[in-house]
Amino acid sequence: MVHVGTAGQPPGSRGPVDALRRLAAAGLDAMEVQFVRQVSMPLDSARAVGEEAANLGIRLSAHAPYYVNFNSDKEGVRQRSVAWTFETLRRVDAMGAIVAVVHAAAYGSRPDDATAAVIGGLNEVRSLMDEAGLQALIGLETMGKKGSWGTLEEISAVCAKVEGTVPVLDFAHLHARSGGGIRSEDDFMSLIQTSRDISGRDPHCHCSGVEYGEKGERKHLPLDSNQPDYRLLAPLSKELGNDAVLIVESPLQIDDAVLLKGMMRM
């Protein structure tokens, strides 16, 4: 069965362990730990979170800081991007999770260099991972703003060059960047199959509604915005696979995660 949960802790949670218990009580079975501002969780705490998640049958992942930009003009930012990504992966490994999600780059003043810069930065991360014996995967998120690196084609190019990298399908981002391009069950299926062709794995996905314009994504919306319409994804539960994860980033977070979980059971 597809795993469905939230990006971060439900409102009112008293830390990540309490958050996991709240998600389990709501019938959810995934959580993406948010390190989007800083990676400060001690490794012992990460292990404790992982143990509780395993006890509750909840699939964990994590999101690296938003500041990562392997294509920055500034050498310091590029080197900190390596450190931020590696430290996220250390926590993912300690939690017994699988994927660390990364916003890898902005085009900035060097759009033609972006993919090569991401490959170079992630190869540095891989060297650190190999030294530390880390097994987690680096998940490259599809991005919704046209000024951000992260089309499926760009991600595929990196995955072909850097071991242990996989796509993360953000359906709202893909919908926004394509000007509302996810309109049918076949559109969802094509993205799922492309992700599987790249990685050989069931996909890790982000789900929300989205407001968009000429430059792509503007902001996340609840699922009932039907932008895109996740009722079209519901019949594809078997095609997603038993190891697929759907992380809800909607403003309604837990309510929409429960709604999506129900859809996946239909």
Task: Look up the CATH number of the domain holding residue 180.
Answer: 3.20.20.150
Residue range 225-254: average pLDDT?
A: 97
Number of domains composing the chain: 1
Question: Residue 147's pLDDT band (boundaries 50, 70, 90)?
Answer: very high
Position 234 pLDDT exceeds 90: yes
Mean per-residue pLDDT over the chain, rounded: 97
Domain that holds residue 71: 3-265
One-letter-per-residue 3-state SS of 187-247: HHHHHHHHHHHHHCCCCEEEECEEEEECCEEEEEECHHHCCCCHHHCHHHHHHHCCCCEEE
**pTM attached to this predicted model:** 0.97
Residue range 86-101: average pLDDT?
A: 97
Position 216 pLDDT exceeds 80: yes
Residue 95, C-beta contacts closer than 8 angstroms, at least 6 positions apart: 33, 46, 47, 49, 50, 53, 60, 62
